[in-house]
Amino acid sequence: MKPRSRFGTALGAVAMAATIPLVLAGCSGSGGSTSSGKVDSITVLDYYNQGNDKTVIGDYLDKCGAANGVKINRTLVPGSSLIQKVLQQASSKTLPDVLMLDNPDLQQIAATGALSPLTDYGISTDGYAKGVLDAGTYKDKVYGLAPTVNTIALFYNKDILDKAGITPPTTWDELKTDAKKLTKGSQYGFAVDANATYEGTWQFLPFMWSNGGDEKDINTPQTEEALSLWTDLVKDGSMSKSVVNWTQADVNDQFIAGKTAMMINGPWQIPGLKDSKVDYGIAQIPVQSTSDTAVAPLGGEVWTVPNTGDKAKQKVAAKIVDCMNSEKNQLGMAKLRYTIPSKTAAAEQFGIDVPAEQVFVDLVASARARTGELGEDWPKAATKIYTAVQSSLTGQSSPADALKNAQSSN
């Protein structure tokens, strides 16, 4: 989950989605239909507005448009502005024909009635990992599909670990021991993003979930043990106190600068790591014991078909979404964007073609959708989690009290 574009929207904007009524029948204001009813253009809204993502997604949208005989008119907005713009468009009856959403936001938007089920257009949902379908589902209907997805894993500096005679840790005890041994001078052993945003929650989830913790109630021994691990790493100096303010990009900068030997991060950092010439490796996130299985959160964006009221254009829009999700296009985009195809067969082929990212392929296969259990209530739980993390890591409360207080908050 890249900063912002791989994570959640501002909670206030999301909350508005449930309160603004949408009157959508006959509301298309995007044009693109001729007098004969033939669709000649489709409007698309997404937040891939920078660098490689902007180019790759644009190329594939154009390719899918050409394959279906329509021109793609694409609008790009900053990630933080997307939901607010969608709400405004819904109110003014100018929703785009194809809408991209960060997967945790789909529930809130689908709940307003702004989206149409993809199965209404004959789009197959076969062959996707469970977490991918969970992320695109609202009330048992699939409203969005993600061509590629991502998650997070353990990155380590091979040179630093080799010199210390350390192999990547697989358990929490090994992580604590190794991180302490790798901490010296200005170099920390381990780093995470523990800031007070959904991104901080995203990074904590593998530790909580893999230990049996659950977002429905974070005031449990399992989640306390996970938070105690992070807190102990800060207390003993193996992890910088500054992690409470770092973004994932900051963590990556620390890693590239040699100021941390290991970090939790995602595959979107790989281009920068390659440019830096750091000799890095990727491994599974450590779990409490060897009998536990790493459970990672699913990142990535879903493509949807809004209810614009123009049935002809909605059908063509669905063809664009379907095209973006073909195995061939998933694989092509994944290789160019350092993400993982969401269809299992395509992901397996990706692992063969790009063995350096096999760890992410393995994690995505069993990754969990953040909204899988709580749906529209996920943002509330995410806020409670990062609030507890902040309280504990800054020493304001013990891990147990931090989780108790956060769980009881509104």
pLDDT in tens for each of the 410 residues of the chain? Answer: 554 444 433 333 333 333 444 333 334 444 565 545 789 999 999 999 998 999 999 999 999 999 999 999 999 999 989 999 998 898 888 999 999 999 999 998 999 999 999 999 999 999 999 999 999 999 999 999 999 999 999 999 999 999 999 999 999 999 999 999 999 999 999 999 999 999 999 999 999 999 999 999 999 999 999 999 999 999 999 999 999 999 999 999 999 999 999 999 999 999 999 999 999 999 999 999 999 999 999 999 999 999 999 999 999 999 999 999 999 999 999 999 999 999 999 999 999 999 999 999 999 999 999 999 999 899 999 999 999 999 999 999 999 999 999 999 97
- Listed in sequence order, the residues at least 6 apart from 323 whose beta carbon sits closer than 8 Å to its beta carbon are 63, 64, 67, 68, 329
DSSP string, 67-114: HTT-EEEEEE--GGGHHHHHHHHHHHT---SEEEEEGGGHHHHHHTT-
In sequence order, the β-bridge partners of residue 99 are: 45, 304
Specify the amino acid at residue 397: S
H/E stretch holding 202 reads helix 198-210
Alpha-carbon gap, residue 262 to 142, rounded angstroms: 38
Query: Which stretches within 241-286 are classed as H helix?
Result: 248-256, 270-276
* Domain boundaries for CATH 3.40.190.10 within the chain: 11-149+300-360, 153-296+374-408
Chain-centre distance for alpha carbon 239: 24
Rounded distance between C-alpha atoms, residue 58 and residue 80, angstroms: 20
Partners of 191 in beta bridges: 263
In terms of CATH architecture, what is 11-149+300-360?
A: 3-Layer(aba) Sandwich (3.40)
* Fold adopted by 153-296+374-408: D-Maltodextrin-Binding Protein; domain 2 (3.40.190)
Helix (H, G, I), strand (E, B), or coil: what is residue 302? strand
Nearest by Cα to 405 from 393, 387, 381: 387
Backbone angles phi, psi at 127, to 5 degrees: 90, 5
User: Strand, helix or coil at 165?
Assistant: coil
The model scores a pTM over 0.95:
no
